Amino acid sequence: MRRPFIAGNWKMHGDRKSAKQYIDEFSVPKTAVAKRDIVIGVPFTLLQYWGAYATRVKPYLQWAAEDVHWEPKGAFTGDVSVSMLKDFKTPYCIVGHSERREYHKESNKQVNAKMNALLEGGIIPIVCVGETLKEREAGKKEAVVGSQVRGSIIASAKSLDLSKIVVAYEPVWAIGTGKTATSAQAQEMCKFIRKELAAGLGKQIADGIRILYGGSVKPDNIDELMAQADIDGVLVGGASLKAKDFSRIANYKEKKK
């Protein structure tokens, strides 16, 4: 049984005031909290506050960083290292988000180096993969996502224990567009990713890895997405900015898989 993983990604949104209001307002019944991991990715500037305040008032509301540098230290202006994230007891970190791959030209090799640094430092990576609309329409979705999975993740199979990582399938065409992949499209690709993971890491490890779907997840499509066999959670952008919406998402209604 894979424990459901419901994650938000605030991207470049939020300050202390809005974070406090959000944490105060966020509310999920104890029964759901006991069975699910609930995590919000926040900007670096909020890690310390979130850790301190949420731990006190909503201890189940965990947090993630949104990126990290792979080097332990050095002349990398504006970057943040794993040990800096550990200063704030950050349990998770997103890497390889399509916005980083696109705007910062991050390669699979760099994403892989970030994943490795996180694992070596004891932080759980949430590794993102996903194809663009152009790639999908050209019939290349499996080729693109397969090479991202191999290059960003499986490349480390021999040197690291990858059983605790989280993988997020986020088709670029569904991010921030309001165009959600249908639950069947999302399931198809999450299943494909699990197959790739099994080929590289072995079936037992692949069966234990949590695979999330991300891209226009909302309160009105979460129940259906979470009912899919290979979808173990979600990574939510826009709808995670409203405490009420994300509370509903985290409190999704379970259906038999």
**Enzyme catalytic residues:** 97, 170
Stretch that binds ligand 13P, among 85-93, 113-121, 148-156, 213-221 (CB under 6 A): 213-221
Least separation in angstroms between residue 217's CB and ligand 13P is: 5
Which residue in the set 175, 181, 201, 231 belongs to the binding site for ligand 13P (CB under 6 A)?
A: 175
Q: At what angle do helices 16-25 and 44-57 cross, to 10 degrees?
A: 30
Contacts 24+ apart (CB under 8 A), 98-106: 98/128, 98/130, 98/170, 98/172, 98/175, 99/11, 99/175, 100/67, 102/172
Task: Kindly tell me which of 231 and 235 has the beta carbon lying closer to ligand 13P.
Answer: 235
Q: Of 201 and 235, which CB lies nearer to ligand 13P in the complex structure?
A: 235
Taking the alpha carbons of 101, 118, 37, 246 in that order, is the dihedral positive or negative? Answer: negative
* Listed ranges 133-141, 185-193, 221-229, 230-238: which one lies at the site for ligand 13P (CB under 6 A): 230-238
Q: How far is the CB of 99 from ligand 13P (least distance, A)?
A: 7
When binding is defined by CB under 6 A, the residue of 51, 96, 214, 233 that contacts ligand 13P is: 214
Q: Are the C-beta atoms of 42 and 61 separated by less than 8 Å?
A: no
Size of the site for ligand 13P (CB under 6 A): 14
Q: Does 67 bind ligand 13P (CB under 6 A)?
A: no
Query: Which of these, 254, 217, 219, 182, lies nearest to 34 by C-alpha position?
Result: 254
Of 37, 135, 170, 245, the one binding ligand 13P by CB under 6 A: 170
Contact 240, 8 (CB under 8 A): yes
Binding string, 84-123, against ligand 13P, x = CB under 6 A? Answer: -------------x--------------------------
Distance CA 141, CA 126 (A): 20
CA torsion sign for 51, 54, 59, 65 is negative
List residues near ligand 13P by CB under 6 A. Answer: 9, 97, 170, 175-176, 214-217, 235-239
